[in-house]
């Protein structure tokens, strides 16, 4: 009997040991798979080719499974203070412009093993939208030159793409960035050199600028629009063109077609005199193409040069003139339409700010507040007081602003009118605006939002090799084997004792 009991116990012990060994092997396999499995990681180097500058952002895509992508900014730098539309006289020079240490260093920071999964993309914004309207052929030449340069820098390994971003894409992408970095639903105010964008959650079904967008599996309905010609540079072009337009019937102009027309600009600092510009140059932008046939003929036939001066700046006169850009009837009868763009910003088409909703104001908004030495948060009254102070100073008193001295008054007044007359912010709702540049280490602009929107179309599969499903199977199998091993050990111990007791009866 003792021999039988010993054999039974030995048999179950061996079975338990075998099952335990298999369980340990499963656990080791899980560990090995975990070590060898790597998340699906990709990179996007994005060139934000704006109207007055070009910035380079590097974004890292990290996926642990389909529909679970995270996007983070890993690098940022600027390529000078030049927009690519500045190369209209020599499109080939645009290629040399982007071969900058900023971009080459960004490429060099991508881990070598991920270069094949890296995209190099240049998206031009409002400055090139203006250029494309003015001269499509030249715009395409600039883009072709840039595409060739990026393909060369990518070494034939990285995917490259060059295109012009639509105003709506820019507006929606900026809003996606805003909600991603703020951690909640907010409004987004983006302002550059050639256009202004506004996007916020929609309430009114009759809104003519309703758009729907999906972000990380969530569907949103938003009011979103982009207004070309309301960026600070193009609005400045319209301002100067309007000054000429209002003085076109001056008898002195007709008598001195070959002389210099000198016009007072109340938005300039006292003592300032601008460089002389050909009359045709003042009206060369698509934003300053006039409807008046008489003025058109005058512009085309005249060799007149124009300069602007200020003997005494005037905040009120400047404010009154800038306000005209937000009167649809004035705008409609003055400027020509532009294909695919709003030529006028009509405040009646923009709902008043929603109470309790925060609006992130980015790009030029931030730079102007910083240039005015305003400490956030600040009230509308504080902003206006600062603007009035700036508009009362002479050029010599504004020398600390360097190249921005001539435009400081105009830009501050324009920002006021854009936010209050255009977007209906007042003394109370102004406090809902947050002027921002970076949040959580990422730039607040359209770039991150663009990368996030792209993430869902990349087809990222999460962990490579066996991945999480395989790990789950191995863990379940290892746990089952461990349980069976324990049962076998218990059976060997207690089952043989029970058998022995039965035999002794």
In percent, the amount of the chain with pLDDT more than 70 equals 80
Task: Compute the distance between CA of residue 22 and CA of residue 303 in angstroms, rounded to an integer.
Answer: 93
**Tens digits of per-residue pLDDT, 424-445?**
999 999 999 999 999 999 999 9
Q: What is the 3-state secondary structure (H, E, C) of 355-421?
A: CCCCEEECCHHHHHHHHCCCCCCCCHHHHHHHHHHHCCCECHHHHHHHHHCCCHHHHHHHHHHHHHH
In this prediction, the residues of the chain whose per-residue pLDDT falls under 70 are 1-13, 15-20, 22-23, 25-39, 64-68, 204-205, 249-258, 458-479, 481-505
pTM above 0.85? Answer: no
The distance from CA 315 to its chain's CA centroid, rounded to whole angstroms, is 33
Query: Rounded to the nearest 5°, which phi and psi values hold at 262?
Result: -110, 120
Task: Compute the distance between CA of residue 48 and CA of residue 52 in angstroms, rounded to an integer.
Answer: 11
Contact residues for 370 (Cβ-Cβ < 8 A; gap 6+): none
Q: Which pLDDT belongs to residue 505?
A: 39
With the C-alpha atoms ordered 419, 420, 425, 428, is the resulting torsion angle positive or negative?
positive
Q: Which pLDDT belongs to residue 154?
A: 85
Q: Which pLDDT belongs to residue 499?
A: 42
Q: Cβ distance 319 to 410 under 8 Å?
A: no
Task: Compute the distance between CA of residue 425 and CA of residue 119 in angstroms, rounded to an integer.
Answer: 40
Q: Which pLDDT belongs to residue 500?
A: 46
Q: Cβ distance 308 to 276 under 8 Å?
A: no
**Tens digits of per-residue pLDDT, 240-299?**
999 998 887 555 554 455 578 899 999 999 999 999 999 999 999 999 999 988 888 888
Q: Which alpha helices (H) appear in 247-288, and where do they start and end?
A: 251-255, 279-282
**Among 439, 242, 405, 212, which residue's Cα sits nearest to residue 323?**
242
């Amino acid at each position: 009997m003792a021999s039988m009991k010993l054999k039974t116990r030995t048999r179950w012990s061996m079975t338990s040991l075998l099952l335990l060994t298999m369980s340990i092997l499963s656990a080791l396999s899980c560990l090995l798979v975990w070590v060898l499995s790597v998340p699906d990681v990709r990179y996007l180097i994005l060139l934000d080719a704006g109207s007055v500058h070009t910035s380079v952002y590097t974004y890292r895509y990290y996926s642990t499974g389909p529909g679970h992508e995270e996007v983070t900014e890993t690098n940022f730098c600027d390529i000078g203070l030049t927009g690519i539309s500045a190369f209209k006289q020599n499109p080939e020079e645009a290629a040399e412009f982007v071969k900058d240490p900023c971009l080459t260093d960004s490429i060099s920071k991508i881990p070598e093993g991920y270069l094949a999964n890296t995209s190099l993309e240049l998206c031009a914004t409002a400055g090139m939208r203006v250029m494309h309207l003015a001269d499509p052929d030249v715009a395409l030449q600039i883009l072709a030159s840039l595409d060739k340069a990026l393909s060369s820098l990518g070494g034939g390994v990285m995917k490259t793409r060059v295109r012009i971003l639509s105003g709506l894409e820019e507006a929606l992408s900026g809003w996606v960035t805003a909600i991603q970095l703020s951690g909640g639903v907010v409004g987004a105010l983006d302002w550059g050199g050639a256009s202004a964008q506004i996007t916020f959650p929609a309430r009114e079904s009759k809104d003519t600028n309703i758009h729907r967008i999906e972000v990380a599996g969530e569907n949103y309905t938003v009011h979103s629009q982009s207004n070309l010609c309301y960026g600070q540079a193009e609005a400045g072009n319209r301002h100067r063109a309007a000054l000429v337009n209002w003085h076109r019937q001056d008898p002195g102009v007709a008598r001195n077609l070959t002389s210099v027309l000198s016009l007072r600009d109340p938005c300039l600092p006292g003592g300032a005199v601008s460089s002389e510009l050909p009359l045709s140059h003042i009206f060369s932008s698509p934003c300053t193409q006039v409807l008046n046939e008489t003025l058109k003929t005058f512009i085309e036939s005249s060799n007149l040069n124009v300069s602007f001066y200020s003997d005494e700046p005037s905040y009120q006169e400047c404010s009154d003139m800038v306000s005209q850009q937000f009167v649809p009837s004035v705008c409609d009868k003055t400027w020509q339409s532009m294909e695919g763009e709003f030529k006028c910003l009509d405040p009646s088409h923009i709902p008043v700010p929603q109470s309790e909703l925060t609006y992130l104001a980015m790009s030029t908004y931030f730079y102007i507040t910083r240039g005015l030495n305003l400490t956030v948060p600040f009230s509308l009254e504080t902003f206006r007081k600062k603007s009035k102070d700036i508009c009362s100073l002479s050029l010599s008193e504004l020398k600390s602003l360097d190249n921005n001295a001539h435009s400081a008054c105009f830009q501050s007044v324009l920002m006021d009118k854009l936010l209050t007359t255009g977007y209906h912010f007042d003394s109370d709702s102004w406090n809902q605006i947050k002027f921002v540049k970076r949040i959580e280490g990422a730039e607040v602009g359209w770039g991150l939002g663009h990368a996030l929107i792209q993430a869902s179309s990349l087809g990222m599969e999460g962990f490579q090799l066996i991945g999480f499903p395989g790990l789950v199977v191995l863990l379940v199998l290892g746990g089952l084997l461990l349980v069976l091993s324990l049962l076998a050990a218990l059976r060997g111990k207690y089952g043989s004792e029970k058998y022995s007791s039965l035999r002794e009866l």
